Amino acid sequence: MINQSALGLLPLDWALVAVALWLAIGLLGLPALRRFRLVAWGLFPLGGAAGLLLAGAALAGLMGSAETAVLPIGLPGLPFHLRLDGLAAYFLFVIGATSAGVSAFAAGYFRKGEGTPPGLLCLQYHVFLASMALVVLADDAYAFMVCWETMALSSFFLVTSNHRVPEIRQAGYLYLLIAHIGAIAILLCFGVLQANTGDYTFGNMRLQHLSPFLASVAFLLAILGFGAKAGILPVHIWLPEAHPAAPSPVSALMSGVMLKTAVYGVLRVTFDLMHVHIWWWGVVLLALGLVTALFGVVFAAVQTDMKRLLAYSSIENIGLIFVGIGLGILFNAYGMEQLSALALTATLYHVAAHAFFKSLLFVATGSVLHATGERNLGHLGGLMRFMPWVAWLTLIGVFASSGLPPLSGFVSEWLLLQSFLFTPGLPDPFLNMLIPVVAAGIVLVTALAGYTMVKFFGIIFLGQPREEKLHNAHDAGSWERLGMLWLAAGCIGLGLMPTIVIQFIDPVTHLLVGTGLGTAASANGWLLLAPTSIDRASYGPVYFLLGIIAGCLLAFMLLRALYHGRLRRAAPWGCGYPRQTPRMQDTAEGFGQPIRQIFEPFFRTQRELPSPFDTAPRYKVVVEDHFWYWLYVPIARVIEFLERQVGRLQQGRISVYLLYSFLTLLVMLFVVTR
């Protein structure tokens, strides 16, 4: 049992206190509806402190046994059942720790006159945080769906904060539509899992032993429902629309945190509520995750809007996470629990890593947007000299997102690739042939992710300012710096202390597959990570960092000794053209052109060629998503056709409506008498 604190509260109690604080902070925003300073500099920092409290409670919960509670709220006979176990505690930590940094940044980010009044925005923001935490804590389908819908609605209002812009309203409605399609699939999944017992608590679902057919139906419904929230193909379409529309702190929470609630749902249903694992489930997730990751990174590489670029990058990372889950299912289906634990450890590690570095990158774009008023990469450049704090902290997020050591993204991707190295032990020749192809695809995705991040950072911060107004750009304020420093520290900490982090992940994998990596990973001390054995593979991030520092110092000393005083500065060579301007630098379109040509079948490309009679000729390339025209536009046309047919029933005559009522009564009498 967990040792009680001095106040006699258990970790679940402290988690509920943090959730109650978020709700109370949100309600305090209503009396201070337009008191900007009170909301921004008072309530949002309090929300960040509540996030730290939640993260602390989650860490305590990871080290103890499962706790349960029943809240007497809801409908008669349907109270909220809550449960804090290892899986819930880990995701609560991600929610709390990430939201602490984002809330601190939000205290300096939000301005007056940005659509929604500050107090109302505060309410929506903190209800969003509280609902995500309760989704993770829910232990019955009723509580889960209520909190899930609350999360969807509150995030919808946050996305449409600047609701006066038609494009933002359209993005919000698209997000809400996809969210509700996913919610219907999740509800049907719970209906299958309760096995016609009428008891929708997760405890009852754990007791049911479904046939392989019904288990497969529940699994596919879960993938559709949670995949719609996560952004898996083909229900990814809302991410690149909603993320650019939302304020940057909201985008950070949605991409860094909210998407992980969907990952939590897949893990909860697949590994906790169901007792059967079939090998082809893993193959489905491997294929779906790889296609999603490749699709996301290719589209990210050709974007010219910095927030759309990050949205597609989130699709890529979600694809990698689903690949890890698929590999875990595959190993578990063949009784290889230790390797399943390795794959799930890589997955859970990437959940935390992505939460920190993607939140950092989104809040960085918010600072750039406020300083310049621009989201288009073609109008940015040279901001490193005007925004050094933002630039250097963004560079940490870029390195982590690119999977470079010794930061967090490298550890999770390295562990995932280590998992693939053991797949030749699978007893199926087809899988032994398929898995290396998936592993090669993951390596390609990782390389393209690095390429995309070079474009992102280089176009925004390096070179010369492409617009005159960029010379007036200002650096981030103190609250914004504090939030970014916290998120950057998370990227560094997760990268330098992998063995310690794996010790916290170990209770989760024990819950899901019955074993973990903790003993093997820490057998050689906290400085050296060996996921299976030191003879097979090992990684020492601190040693790596010390090597980088020593190499840089040595290079600096050699340069000072050999070339000091013999360097001269000159203008770069411009092919003999004397009238160079900053507009002649490499553009975002030019940087992404090789990817656009190599992966041309991925895109629906429209080119607008200049006319020879134009006084200011422009060449424009528009890259669109095929899924809009292959899937969503045909569905929309069918729905519009059905609406027109149904609309014919409405004639505007009372006699016709009475006839409808009479025919309905006749049909009902006929059905009842039979």
> Among 532, 561, 590, which residue terminates a domain?
561
Identify the sign of the CA torsion 87, 123, 112, 245.
positive
Rounded distance between C-alpha atoms, residue 600 and residue 404, angstroms: 28
Alpha helices in 194-334 (DSSP H): 202-207, 212-230, 239-245, 248-253, 259-267, 279-301, 306-333
Residues 467 and 321 reside in one and the same domain? yes
Q: Is residue 381 part of a domain?
A: yes
> Among 546, 561, 576, which residue terminates a domain?
561
Q: Is residue 139 part of a domain?
A: no
**For the chain (length 674 residues), average pLDDT per consecutive 10?**
54 93 93 84 93 94 88 82 94 96 91 75 94 95 94 93 86 91 94 90 91 94 94 90 89 93 95 90 93 93 90 94 94 89 93 95 92 87 90 94 90 89 77 84 92 92 86 89 95 91 91 81 70 73 87 86 72 71 76 82 75 64 82 85 80 80 87 71
Rounded distance between C-alpha atoms, residue 192 and residue 15, angstroms: 30
> What number of other Cβ atoms are within 10 A of residue 443's Cβ?
12
For helices 498-513 and 86-109, give the axis angle rounded to 10 degrees: 130
Residue 625 three-state SS = strand
Rounded distance between C-alpha atoms, residue 505 and residue 348, angstroms: 7
Hey, what amino acid is at 69?
A
Res 14: pLDDT:
93
Q: Is residue 673 part of a domain?
A: yes
Report DSSP state, residue 138.
Answer: B
For helices 44-62 and 11-28, give the axis angle rounded to 10 degrees: 170
Hey, what amino acid is at 577?
Y
Residues 429 and 310 reside in one and the same domain? yes
Nearest to 46 by CA among 106, 94, 110: 106
| Helix (H) or strand (E) segment spanning residue 463 | none
Q: What is the 3-state secondary structure (H, E, C) of 639-663?
A: HHHHHHHHHCCCCCCHHHHHHHHHH
Res 2: pLDDT:
38
Q: Is residue 176 part of a domain?
A: no
Identify any residues that bridge with 67 across adjacent strands, giving them in sequence order. 84
Res 617: pLDDT:
60
> Among 536, 561, 586, which residue terminates a domain?
561
Identify any residues that bridge with 623 across adjacent strands, giving them in sequence order. 605
Residues 454 and 313 reside in one and the same domain? yes
Residue reference for tokens 């600096």: 556
Q: Is residue 208 part of a domain?
A: no
Q: Is residue 458 part of a domain?
A: yes
Rounded distance between C-alpha atoms, residue 399 and residue 427, angstroms: 38
Residues 555 and 641 reside in one and the same domain? no
Residue reference for tokens 């290889």: 336
Res 351: pLDDT:
95
**Both tokens of residue 641?**
């056709």
Residue 21 three-state SS = helix
Residue reference for tokens 């479904």: 210
Rounded distance between C-alpha atoms, residue 541 and residue 411, angstroms: 9
Between the CA atoms of 108, 112, 114 and 115, what dihedral angle is there, to the nearest 10 degrees? 130
Residues 658 and 510 reside in one and the same domain? no
Rounded distance between C-alpha atoms, residue 552 and residue 560, angstroms: 12
Q: Is residue 57 part of a domain?
A: no
> What number of other Cβ atoms are within 10 A of residue 573's Cβ?
7
Residues 541 and 639 reside in one and the same domain? no
Residues 635 and 527 reside in one and the same domain? no
**Both tokens of residue 360?**
């950092």
Hey, what amino acid is at 84?
L
For helices 118-137 and 259-267, give the axis angle rounded to 10 degrees: 10
Report the largest interatomic distance among the alpha carbons of the chain, rounded to a whole angstrom.
Answer: 104
Identify any residues that bridge with 608 across adjacent strands, giving them in sequence order. 620
Res 592: pLDDT:
79
Residues 350 and 432 reside in one and the same domain? yes
Q: Is 656 exposed, middle or buried (0-12, 13-18, 19+ CB in 10 A)?
A: exposed
Nearest to 139 by CA among 205, 230, 227, 50: 205
**Both tokens of residue 220?**
């596919």
> What number of other Cβ atoms are within 10 A of residue 23's Cβ?
17
Report DSSP state, residue 531.
Answer: S
Residues 636 and 523 reside in one and the same domain? no
Q: Is residue 542 part of a domain?
A: yes
Q: What are phi and psi of 372, to 5 degrees?
A: -120, -20
Residues 556 and 638 reside in one and the same domain? no
Hey, what amino acid is at 176?
L
Rounded distance between C-alpha atoms, residue 219 and residue 297, angstroms: 27
C-alpha distance across the termini of the chain, in Å: 60
Tell me, rounded to whole angstroms, the distance of Cα 181 from its chain centroid.
19
Rounded distance between C-alpha atoms, residue 20 and residue 2, angstroms: 22
Between the CA atoms of 99, 104, 106 and 112, what dihedral angle is there, to the nearest 10 degrees? 150
Nearest to 390 by CA among 414, 374, 371: 371
Residues 550 and 639 reside in one and the same domain? no
CB 326 within 8 A of CB 620: no
Rounded distance between C-alpha atoms, residue 492 and residue 310, angstroms: 20
Residues 433 and 556 reside in one and the same domain? yes
Which residues constitute the domain of residue 541? 285-475+502-561
Q: How many domains does the chain have?
A: 2
Res 3: pLDDT:
41
